[in-house]
Amino acid sequence: QLVFLALNRNNLTGTIPNSFGNLSALEELYLAESNLEGSIPSEMGQLTRLTIFAIAINKFQGVIPATIFNISTITSFSVADNLLTGSLPADIGFTLPNLQSFGIGGNKMGGEIPVSLMNATQLELLDIAGSNYVGQVPANIGGLQNLQWINIGSNHLGSNKTHDLSFIASLANCSQLRLLYFNNNNFGGELPSSIGNLSNQLQRLGLGQNQISGKIPAGLQTLANSLNMLGMEGNLFSGTIPDYLGKFQKLQVLGLYGNRFSGNIPASLENLTELYKLQLSRNQLQGNIPSNLGNCKRLTEVYMQQNELIGFIPQQIFSISSLSNTLNLSRNSLTGSLPLEVGRLISVYALDVSENKLAGEIPQTIGGCLGLEYLMMQGNYFQGMIPSALASLKGIRHLDLSRNNLSGQIPKDLENLRNLQYLNLSFNELEGEVPTKGVFAQAGTVSLLGNRNLCGGIPELQLPTCLPKGMKKRRSLEMKIVTVILGTVFLVITLASFAVLCWCRKRRNDRSSLTSEVDRALRVSYHELYQATSGFSSKFLIGSGSFGSVYKGRLDQHEDRPVAIKVLHLLSAVASNSFMAECNTLRNIRHRNLAKILSCCSSIDFKGNEFKALVYEFMENGSLDTWLHQEVAEVQSSRTLNLVQRLNAAIDAASALCYLHDGCETPVIHRDLKPSNILLNHDMSAQISDFGLARLLPKITSNYSQQGDSSIVVKGSIGYAAPEYGMGGEASIHGDIYSYGILVLEMFTGRRPTDDIFRDGLTLHNYVKMDLPGNVMNIIDPVLIAMEREAQTEAAATEEEEDGDDIQEEGDSNHVLSPSCEACVVSILEIGLACSVDAVPKARMKMKDVLRELHRIRGAVLRGG
């Protein structure tokens, strides 16, 4: 008779035969790690002598037959990592009293942990991780005194309340406990001091990704002689990191990231000589990086990003030759230069010092980091030339040196880096000819925005042609001659203009007083507007704002075409001033991307009240805001914008701002640019509207401007208005550029700058900045991703039909945009960031540069890369 059957770790397929139920003498069954599927036969319940039931890591599905839970002889029950559903029987501890090992994690099972399980007093291993269990952990779990391994992580246990961790006190009875994981649940409250009463044999303690708050209890230090892994990441812990952690000399992994720790990094961590992974990122840590961390000679990974660290990077950090994985010091306030010792990190895989205040030249010694694949140094003050030694990094895949003060030419040898997939050199002061091979051969893999003196490169980059070397000196002499000539011409024109201006002023003084706000020829009567809107009926209301309401109507004088009628709310002088501003602005400007004013009305209504209205062309596709932000029920509709449509709208808005700022005789500042003030025509072309806050630049110091521009009144809408406006700063074109930058970020992330997540110092600008470029998929509008993914799927299906090839296997293409599409979105968002810099308004990207770069990006998108 068959007593022992081991078929595990084979390539078996199919199901478990029902006839296995006839193996009445079978005691041990091993079918793990194969490709078996289907349901577990209920006939298996007939194996009344079974002690080991091991079918883990297969594809079994359905509910575990109740008959199996009645085999009281089972000591090892292992069904983990399948597709099983259902819940555990309430009486499992009574029907399987001899359990020693119980592993059911990695399935789709759920419900509460049966209290009866505490009756299986011989239990040594309990693993229900990665399932859907809810409720509380039984308070008497410590009654299982033989437990050595408890893994209840990655469930939905707990209730985010203070009593959730009360079960820990009972675990003091488990004197042989070596592993305790309850991470990735909903446990709340503070970590009880009873954590220090756990077994002195405990080696691994994982409680990360919960809602545990408060300080780390002092009692934890009693585990110093045994723990080699401590994971407390992703909680709400606060206070300082205890000095006593330096006593945990066996510790190999310390995970404290994603909490609210403050204060300095303890110098005592130098005693953790066995440590290979240190995770302190995303806290509020301050002070300097301790130089004595260089004594941790086994470190392979160090994460300290997104803190408030200051001072120099200690050179001792770069003397840790074991650092072979990652050194991430980004998003702090580190100063000084990058130490020459950086070249000692021969085998480091990723180095990130981005978004700090580092300065000086990038050392040539960085070429010694031969194992480097990811190098991020963006957002600092590095200067000088790009080191030629970077060409020694043969394995480099991702290189970002953007937003620094680098100058000189781009090293031509960078085009020989065959593995380089992304290169960002944007917003520096680089000059000269751009290489054309390697990573430079595709516009979607290289970003060179904001470097005004670059030339050459592939045509898709749309850079000016480089001058021959012999032409440069001759061009310099020609420029000097031209300058002299232009200076003379300018003087003559200035004198002539002055004479003409004096003559014009004399004539203007002779005219009659201008009492109307706009030309009388443009006027329409109140009666006509009343009839066109059926008495300003609510059924014709298409929108409203702080200064007025907008109605749809039809006017005979405009060939019965639909028009938009903006009726001002004349409850304050501000609304009247808005009418003046809009009339005076729009009467003198004409551009295809600016809303066209057709008529206006300044009259008295039927009740004798003052009435003012403006008549515009009706834009049948409404505002950009309604296309970007729809209700959940509407998302499946056709009112969504794809990548090209959003890019076109961004280009149209940029074109309009270029005209307002540089193309008008008197520069015009809009001051209230936002999605609801951008309208879409029948062909989806965009037009900027609502000039109620607009200002003519030379007049901002007039009495009229001062009335509306007091330091108490913010010029624009919250979230879109430039920060300097909130401090009483004067209106300028740089304020419009800031609003445009926020607009661009909103268009491609789908998030308003006023969304609830933007609090405690987090802004839309910082939200995007933190995830560029490597994690851009985390912030792109999900609606946009879905549309582009659908387009890619349709294109692939069409290609498959045409070519007769098999459809590609499912992979990353189902989860991300194409590399070229993703690179284009990164470039667009970088423009949004460059426009929305808040510190120095004049440092914002010029609109003409924005327009040029957006045209280049659109060209790349339309070419498919």
Binding site for ATP, by residue number, is 566
Please state whether the peptide bond connecting residue 242 to the residue before it is cis, i.e. omega within 30 degrees of 0. Answer: no
Other CB atoms within 10 A of residue 651 CB: 19
CA distances from 537 to 531, 532, 561, 605, 690 (A): 10, 10, 18, 15, 22
HSE, CB side, 13 Å, CA atoms: give it for residue 834.
Answer: 24
Distance CA 365, CA 338 (A): 10
For every residue of 661-693, DSSP letters joined together read: IIISSS-EE-----GGGEEE-TT--EEE---TT
Distance CA 225, CA 221 (A): 9
Distance CA 176, CA 198 (A): 9
**Contact in structure between 123 and 144 (CB atoms under 8 Å):** yes
Other CB atoms within 10 A of residue 587 CB: 14
Cα angle 510, 513, 518; round to 5: 125
- Residue 87 CA, chain-centre distance (Å), reads 38
The answer to whether residue 672 is catalytic is yes
Binding-site positions: 566
Distance CA 224, CA 454 (A): 58
Left (φ > 0), alpha (ψ -120 to 50) or beta: where does 595 sit? Answer: beta
SS3 percent helix, strand, coil of the chain, rounded to 5, is 35, 20, 45
Distance CA 563, CA 543 (A): 13
Distance CA 756, CA 768 (A): 15
Distance CA 329, CA 801 (A): 49
* 81, 127, 352, 672: the active-site residue: 672
**Contact in structure between 286 and 264 (CB atoms under 8 Å):** yes
Distance CA 688, CA 680 (A): 9
Distance CA 822, CA 785 (A): 10
- Residue 698 CA, chain-centre distance (Å), reads 40
Cα angle 340, 346, 348; round to 5: 100
Please provide residue 201's backbone torsions phi and psi, each rounded to the nearest 5 degrees: -105, 0
First to last CA, the chain: 67
Catalytic residues: 672
